[in-house]
Amino acid sequence: MIQKKYMILGAGPSGLTLAHSLIEAGIAREEIVVLEKEAISGGLCRSEEVDGAPLDIGGGHFLDLRRKEVLDFIFRFMPRDEWALFDRVSKIRLRGMEVDHPLEANLWQFPVEVQADYLESIAQAGCVRGEPMPESFAAWIEWKLGQRIAQEYMLPYNRKIWSMHPDALGTYWLYKLPDVSFRETLLSCLEGKPMGALPAHGTFLYPKEFGYGEVWRRMGVALGDSLVTGCALQSVDLENRVVNGRWKAETIVSSVPWTCWLEAAKLPQAVVDDVRTLRNAPIDVDYVPDTLDSPSHWTYEPDESVPYHRALLRSNFAKNAKGYWTETNATRSKPTDGVRFHNEYAYPINTLGKPEAVARILQWAKTCGIVGIGRWGRWEHMNSDVAVAEALQVARDLTGQGARA
């Protein structure tokens, strides 16, 4: 039996950040083990070389610049001068055109007739008419943007990405979406320029020479033999905190999906019931060698006759790259002879009742000396910068170093 102070399950951004932060806080590296099922670290943020250039195998990944603490941490492994800075160009394909995202801030880019159609839609929306906000996501879409925009854009796009009817999704996460008021939309049409809050990644960083995965690969290498790859969670003895019959720890930190715990441990029935309510959307990432004639870094595709929901034009952000890759909910993918990467756990789905179920799971875990972190430990649609920020805070909490400075 190998005894450790901390055992971290999963070497994605969350697990890697936590391991390094614990070491930084004075925990000896030998006191930490990170168990990872894949051959390299990085999780959804891994990259591979395809057709002579990097391809991010978990989908398009860009580093947001908003959190200084996160950037300081990441630049320790890949200094700032190894990153290129971009002003985000993201497009939506609608009515045979490409306009900038978010739609409500960029209706002015359509011909006047189309602007009128979509303005009419928003003018008739429930939020403009003072109706109370509904609780399901599908109803919220119509309430926010009106019937026409819901039917042409938001409902089909969301059916594609989640592989679930938007009726089954809650609205508690919508603060993450760009919020543009009707007044701002009107003004943007009149003045012919975008208005309102811009979405995440207004500017972003991407490695100059590599894919996004390089920084997480380096973090894994820097852990030396504290990182054990090719080691999937198989069994957990909850009482003794022993994993796979081999590693024992005072604290287990899990960044792997809770659904993996169903097979591995004898969970109380109430926890099993909660875990079984959690839903994830799988995605396939497919490489296409043709280079598209568009300035876009990524483009949203709501048309349901096209399987993918987003195209990533790597020729516009990765060095010496041609072609693009697409992200398709795996339940909609067609068989291919091309290069494809499958990600079973890509998006945690924000189903109704999820926050309460996750809170109960985490509460139970705490009583067993287990902490859940990251995209799957919290079952939250968090970006990698948020995952890093959370792991930095968890390290402070675990080592008693208190609140953020």
Ligand X SMILES: Cc1cc2nc3c(=O)[nH]c(=O)nc-3n(C[C@H](O)[C@H](O)[C@H](O)COP(=O)(O)OP(=O)(O)OC[C@H]3O[C@@H](n4cnc5c(N)ncnc54)[C@H](O)[C@@H]3O)c2cc1C
Asked whether position 32 contacts ligand X by CB under 6 A, the answer is no
> How far apart are CB 364 and ligand X at their closest, in Å?
19
**C-alpha span between 256 and 281 (Å, rounded):** 15
**Under 8 Å between Cβ of 395 and 404:** no
**Under 8 Å between Cβ of 107 and 189:** yes
* Bridge partners, residue 372, by sequence: 254
> How far apart are CB 168 and ligand X at their closest, in Å?
19
Helix 354-367 vs helix 269-277: angle between axes, to the nearest 10 degrees?
140
Backbone dihedral region for residue 36 (phi beyond 0: left; psi -120 to 50: alpha; all else: beta) = beta
| Listed ranges 41-49, 98-106, 266-274, 330-338: which one lies at the site for ligand X (CB under 6 A) | 41-49
- Kindly tell me which residue out of 6, 8, 43, 286 binds ligand X, with binding defined by CB under 6 A: 43
First vs last C-alpha separation in the chain: 38
Asked whether position 357 contacts ligand X by CB under 6 A, the answer is no
Binding mask 267-296 for ligand X (x = CB under 6 A): ----------------x-------------
> How far apart are CB 55 and ligand X at their closest, in Å?
13
**C-alpha span between 257 and 372 (Å, rounded):** 9
- Closest CB to ligand X among residues 143, 324: 324
- Closest CB to ligand X among residues 300, 347: 347
Q: DSSP string spanning 282-318? A: EEEEEEE-SPPS---SEEE---TTSS-SEEE-GGGTS
- Closest CB to ligand X among residues 149, 256: 256
**C-alpha span between 117 and 239 (Å, rounded):** 62
Residue 198 has a CB neighbour count (10 Å cut-off) of 16
> How far apart are CB 376 and ligand X at their closest, in Å?
6
- Kindly tell me which residue out of 255, 299, 350, 351 binds ligand X, with binding defined by CB under 6 A: 255
- Closest CB to ligand X among residues 119, 387: 387
**C-alpha span between 301 and 214 (Å, rounded):** 28
Strands 97-100 and 90-94: antiparallel
Asked whether position 211 contacts ligand X by CB under 6 A, the answer is no
Q: Which residue has the tokens 């603490």?
A: 69
> How far apart are CB 2 and ligand X at their closest, in Å?
16
- Kindly tell me which residue out of 54, 60, 166, 323 binds ligand X, with binding defined by CB under 6 A: 60
**How far from 127 is each of 139, 152, 333, CA to CA, in Å?**
11, 19, 36
> How far apart are CB 15 and ligand X at their closest, in Å?
6
**C-alpha span between 320 and 292 (Å, rounded):** 15
Asked whether position 85 contacts ligand X by CB under 6 A, the answer is no
Asked whether position 59 contacts ligand X by CB under 6 A, the answer is yes
> How far apart are CB 204 and ligand X at their closest, in Å?
7
Asked whether position 260 contacts ligand X by CB under 6 A, the answer is yes
**C-alpha span between 385 and 74 (Å, rounded):** 9
Residues 162-201 that bind ligand X (CB under 6 A): none
> How far apart are CB 232 and ligand X at their closest, in Å?
4
Asked whether position 385 contacts ligand X by CB under 6 A, the answer is yes
**Under 8 Å between Cβ of 385 and 72:** no
Asked whether position 47 contacts ligand X by CB under 6 A, the answer is no
- Kindly tell me which residue out of 354, 374, 394, 395 binds ligand X, with binding defined by CB under 6 A: 374
Asked whether position 238 contacts ligand X by CB under 6 A, the answer is no
Alpha helices in 92-242 (DSSP H): 112-123, 137-149, 155-162, 182-191, 213-222
Asked whether position 71 contacts ligand X by CB under 6 A, the answer is no
> How far apart are CB 261 and ligand X at their closest, in Å?
9
Asked whether position 15 contacts ligand X by CB under 6 A, the answer is yes
Residues that bind ligand X (CB under 6 A): 9-15, 35-38, 43-45, 58-62, 64, 232-233, 255-257, 260, 283, 327, 346-347, 374-376, 382-385, 387
